[in-house]
Structure 1
Amino acid sequence: MSDLDKPDTTTDLTALTADLVSAFVSHNKVGTAELPGLIATVHGALAGLGAAADTETVEAFHPAVTARKSLADPDHIVSMIDGKSYSSLKRHLTAHGLTPDEYRARYGLPSSYPMVAPGYSARRSELAKTIGLGRKPKGEIPVAASAAKPAKSGKPARKPRTPKAAPAA
């Protein structure tokens, strides 16, 4: 690119500054002593906008521990955010404004990375099995089988409905 193709940023800022200041002065009362300060302030603000966009970078997240170390203990998962141990990361992630998928994406974890410690999950599963969750109660007939066989009785359940008489015209 030659020098003729590049836009001259100082000229652009000067032109923008002149446009902004002239628009402001045409609608507001500004003393002649305040005018140089106003021009300097507007030009500085416009120059700062361009500089802020150049220096802005994407924040890189560095895990507190490695993925392997975070799963080393079967009873706890170590958070990559703060390095603390948790049985379940769900509430911790919510406190930091993350979903499990966002957490996995932020630290480059596979979709199979657990959010609950394996030992904790096994204890909860065993507890559920001991109290009988997930099993049908013994001795009861399943609902589908009882619905298939209607009970017969000698009389109908209710009196049949009589049709309404047609309205007289």
Structure 2
Amino acid sequence: MRLHGTVRHSGGIRRLNRPQSNGDAEIVRCTARIVMGYVAGNRLPAADLATLITTVSKALRSPHDFEVATATPVIAQAVPKVSYVASDYPRPQVPARLLSLKEIADSVQETYLVCFEDGEHYRMLARHLRLFGLTPDAYREKWGLPDDYPMMPAAHLKHRAELARQRNLGKHDRSTAKPRRKSAITAKTQTRGAEDPPKPKPYSVGLTRGGWRRQGDVGQGASPG
């Protein structure tokens, strides 16, 4: 007789190791499915079948398999509301100082430019200045740079010019252009002819009191013979 996790027998009442519950029945069903799937795909001697069932059942009953890993909750830190510029975090500007001519000259190298805001090297300085909320003109004015201070190194400018030359940018290749149709040329010629002033006629189309008036005649009209 089963009484809340105990079994009564002739020798007295013996407490079970684990109370019988619906979970045990589920473990039995899971054990059967696992063993059947293993036997279907593997060769197993009949003598080892009992050992396999016991091993699977113990594995399913192990409390370690039913433990749920509880992660420590992560407390979200408050992020200050900032406006993002150029898909990156904006950076604070540094106070301006008086630069020497040597510092300005050394900041312009063949392959990079030195930014006075953070001291890093860049090939496209104008794009990087947006992180500080500066335009090229504002950057030049802040640091006392000349008006023609470059925003790209010379090597990068040459590289872009070479790419543009290879792609024939700014040029129109007329050798591969399709010839114009004859109808288009004729229509253009007719349009030009319509714009020309009309040629004088020998006789005007206006009828006067004296009849048809010859072009240039003044006074009495003369009829054409």
Q: TM-score range by the shorter chain?
A: 0.3 to 0.5
Larger radius of gyration: 2
Determine which structure has the larger helix proportion and give its number: 1
The TM-score normalised by the length of structure 2 is 0.35
Indicate the structure whose relative CO is greater, using CA pairs within 8 Å and at least 6 residues apart: 1
The TM-score normalised by the length of structure 1 is: 0.46
